């Protein structure tokens, strides 16, 4: 499993999201919640395993550097 430092990195979900729900279903920590338009991320639950990034059929989830 790939892991990324959660203190410096978070996720961004692009506007091309079709709200298919694949990422919501695959997230092992339930950090992605269904929401209108695109899922919302509960950052405190996200372990940055990047499974959602890999499964997204649109390729719209990406790593985003936090502003420190």
Q: What residues line the site for ligand SF4 (CB under 6 A)?
A: 11, 13, 17-23, 26-27, 29, 31-32, 38-39, 41, 46-52, 56, 58, 60-61
The values of phi and psi at residue 59, to 5°, are 65, 35
Q: Which is nearer to ligand SF4, 19 or 66 (CB)?
A: 19
Q: Which is nearer to ligand SF4, 19 or 64 (CB)?
A: 19
Q: How far is the CB of 1 from ligand SF4 (least distance, A)?
A: 9
- As a dihedral over the C-alpha atoms of residue 14, residue 16, residue 22, residue 24, rounded to 10 degrees, the angle is 40
- Map tokens 């298919």 to a residue: 20
């Amino acid at each position: 499993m790939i892991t990324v430092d959660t203190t410096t990195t978070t996720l961004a979900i692009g506007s091309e999201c079709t709200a298919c729900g694949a990422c919501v279903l695959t997230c092992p920590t339930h950090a992605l919640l269904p929401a209108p338009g695109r899922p919302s991320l509960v950052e405190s639950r996200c372990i940055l395993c990047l499974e959602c990034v890999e499964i997204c059929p649109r390729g719209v989830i990406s790593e985003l550097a936090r502003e420190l």
